[in-house]
Amino acid sequence: MNSENLQEHIGAQQVEPPNSRLHASQSIFQKRLRKFRGLKRGYYSFLILLGLYAISFALPALTNEKALFVQYQGRSYLPLFNYYEASEFGMDAIGEPNYRELAKRLAGDVEGWVLMPLYPYGPNESLLELDGVPPHPPSAEHPFGTDDRGRDVFVRLAYGFNVSITFAILVTLFSFVVGIIVGAMLGYFGGSADIFGQRLIEIWSSLPFLYTIIIVGSIVVPVYVTGQNLVLQPSFWLLIFLLSTFSWMGITYYVRGEFYREKAKDYVGAAIALGASETSVIFKHILPNAITPVVSFAPFSIVANISTLVALDFLGFGLPAPIPSWGELIGQGVNNLTKFWLVFFPLGAVFLTLLLVVFVGEAIREAFDPKEFSRLH
């Protein structure tokens, strides 16, 4: 190689990539976010779950037995938000009217009209007008069939998705907050506080979780409020509280170990030498570095919490009726093995949801790998 070619070769090696300065100026979170977006399977799974979860909050307007809007004899009604007697619409029935029948009755009538949801069936509505004895097989009108009480399976799966994801996210959030705080205190202060705290955790973790659920469930009676959102039922929050009290201990051990490892590093000693308070050292310096491996556990914790809720509902110790539940549908499938739609569709919904969450968890774990991106690099 002559001198000119050698100089060109050296110069080519010294040329910086066009985006190197941009990447160098990015924060550690931006780098991890860029890495996460580059992991297509996990990123698209996250978008699918996020989209479905957002849509699930609009389910009362998309699938419901109540009309969205009724125009009758010059007056406007909003049945989705208010209760009306059937007699107000000239019907002989007692109580709330069947808005599907009202829509058929007013079709082409100058007196009024009815706007129904896209899928006009509710999660707790027994379809008594169907022929035969429930459960009814899938049909063009009910593609997932009905359960043993004549309720549409598709609607209950859709509402159950919202309940399951909301339940899992809240349990994960509460358990992580408690686990991170307790683990940070044990790992930072150590000594007798650490020993005493670990003994308390060992005692608490030895309590039987299922027996606790059974005992508390037999004492506390759920209170139902007419028209209240399903997610706001007291038993829902009670179950979240009980599961959270047993879920935070695993996170505590991870955070405690990370604090022990991080507090021995030079940057912590430098912060203390500069006069930083203990609160500042814990939450500003150590916690951002110690929490990195914990974040990657969140999706897998959501998987565990969804599975726990499904198992409790299957055993009959979970959410009370008539809250839509995947576990309750699976239990019906076990009792009706010849009704394939009660087995295939609920298990398929659980499998696909957990699969998507696992894909997201794998992508987050790889994106938050401290060996690739670190605050100390």
- Residue 110: per-residue pLDDT: 65
Strand partners, 146: 152
- Residue 20: per-residue pLDDT: 45
CATH of domain 153-367: 1.10.3720.10
- Residue 2: per-residue pLDDT: 52
Non-local CB neighbours of 306 within 8 Å, separated by 6+ positions: 164, 165, 167, 168, 350, 353, 354, 357
User: Beta strands 112-115 and 69-72: pairing type?
Assistant: antiparallel
Share of the chain above pLDDT 70, in %: 86
Q: Output the CA–CA distances (angstroms, integers) from residue 222 to 169, 324, 354, in the order listed.
A: 22, 15, 29
CA-closest candidate to residue 64, choices 116, 120, 118:
120
Query: pLDDT per residue over 12-71, tens digit each?
Result: 444 445 444 444 556 777 888 899 899 999 999 999 999 999 999 999 999 999 999 999
CA-closest candidate to residue 57, choices 234, 230, 304, 174:
230
pTM for the predicted model, two decimal places: 0.84
Whole-number CA gyration radius for the chain: 28
Q: Output the CA–CA distances (angstroms, integers) from residue 263 to 193, 283, 285, 289, 290, in the order listed.
A: 16, 12, 9, 10, 10
Query: pLDDT per residue over 344-354, tens digit each?
Result: 999 999 999 99
More confidently predicted of 275 and 28: 275
What is the Cα–Cα distance from 287 to 295, expressed in whole angstroms? 12
Q: Output the CA–CA distances (angstroms, integers) from residue 95 to 85, 91, 92, 101, in the order listed.
A: 5, 10, 9, 14
More confidently predicted of 215 and 355: 355
Using an 8 Å Cβ cutoff, are 334 and 346 in contact? no
- Tell how many helices (H) and how many strands (E) occur in the chain: 17, 3
167 three-state secondary structure: helix
DSSP states of 220-285: SPP---TT--GGG-HHHHHHHHHHHHHHHHHHHHHHHHHHHHHTTSHHHHHHHHTT--HHHIIIII
For 225, the token pair is 């409020």
Burial class (CB in 10 A: 0-12, 13-18, 19+), 36: middle
119 three-state secondary structure: strand
User: Beta strands 112-115 and 75-77: pairing type?
Assistant: unpaired
| Helix (H) or strand (E) run with residue 344 in it | helix 341-367
- Residue 218: per-residue pLDDT: 66
Using an 8 Å Cβ cutoff, are 316 and 190 in contact? no
Q: Where are the domains of the chain?
A: 65-115, 153-367
What is the Cα–Cα distance from 230 to 322, expressed in whole angstroms? 9
Query: pLDDT per residue over 294-335, tens digit each?
Result: 888 899 999 999 999 999 899 888 887 788 999 999 999 998
Using an 8 Å Cβ cutoff, are 256 and 268 in contact? no
DSSP states of 75-115: EEE-TTTS---GGGGT---SSS--HHHHHHHHTT-TTEEEE
Give me the chain's average pLDDT, please.
84
What is the Cα–Cα distance from 55 to 71, expressed in whole angstroms? 27
Burial class (CB in 10 A: 0-12, 13-18, 19+), 54: exposed
Residue in the block written with tokens 């203990």: 278
Q: Output the CA–CA distances (angstroms, integers) from residue 216 to 117, 210, 234, 239, 248, in the order listed.
A: 39, 10, 13, 10, 19
